[in-house]
A = this chain, B = another copy of it.
Amino acid sequence: MDSKRQQIIGSLSERINSGRLKPGERLGSESELMAEFGVSRMTVHHAMRELEARGFLERRKGSGSYVAPARPYVAIYPHLDIRAEIEAAGGVHRARVLVQALELAAPPLAQGFGLGADAPLFHAVVLHLSGGVPVEIEDRWLNPALLPECMSVDLTRETLFGLLMARRPFRAGDERIRACTASDEEAAVLGLEPGAVCLETTRRTRSDEGVVTQVRLLRPGTSHLEGRIAPAARD
């Protein structure tokens, strides 16, 4: 037996999802729904409040409750942690460390981190393999102040992504995906023909203190990213 609140939520959301109530249309007032469902006002109120939180309704004080405009859709990709991705696919993750050093970065890169041109950045290049097959080159720059142990970490056992998530949860970031061809060196590392087609992801994550890390991920073009489509979250 559903609670009364759930019955109201179910009844109203059905009217909206079925299209019988269209975006912009007004619902009954709390008093009207109170009478219709035979419950107290607070019960109606909290049911509608929940529908508002879920993005089905917009409520306007002094005016009424209206069906919210349709939300845009987004594609959601959970591809952030290469190790988790490989293991989810039933593979075994291995890593080969190609670079792990403190380096003076090119000025535009250093500027992105809000550091002077003479401040060294941590630079790592790691080849990730699934069951011995190369799947991704990770080329990462990192503000060493935010992960002091970066030079002593064994990157074959831990991913920088995992470390960063545990130590330095970030707030937000942006990402770009494009198609490109591998350089001779990259092709050799990934075991591809020179000039082979690749998928490149560039990502930058920020916390309150500035840019945390910037990474370029290169995958063979034969691999693909898988995401799902859903209505955009509110906020």
Residues of A within 8 A of B (CB): 46, 50, 53, 70, 72-80, 165, 168-170, 172-181, 197-199, 203, 205, 221-230, 232-233
- The answer to whether A173 and B229 touch (CB under 8 A), given A72-B79, A75-B76, A77-B77, is yes
C-alpha spacing A120/B46, complex, angstroms: 48
Q: Which of B46, B180, B222, B224 contacts A46 (CB 8 A)?
A: B46
| Interface contact B178-A224, CB-CB below 8 Å | yes
Tally of this chain's copies: 2
C-alpha spacing A227/B204, complex, angstroms: 11
C-alpha spacing A17/B177, complex, angstroms: 30
C-alpha spacing A187/B158, complex, angstroms: 42
- The answer to whether A175 and B79 touch (CB under 8 A), given A53-B50, A197-B181, A197-B197, is no
C-alpha spacing A224/B197, complex, angstroms: 15
Residues of B within 8 A of A168 (CB): 70
| Interface contact A228-B175, CB-CB below 8 Å | yes
Max chain B CB contacts within 10 Å: which of A78, A178, A223? A178
C-alpha spacing A98/B178, complex, angstroms: 25
| Interface contact B72-A179, CB-CB below 8 Å | no
15 A-B pairs with CB atoms under 8 Å apart are: A70-B168, A70-B169, A73-B80, A74-B79, A76-B232, A80-B229, A172-B229, A172-B230, A173-B228, A177-B224, A177-B227, A178-B225, A179-B199, A180-B197, A203-B229
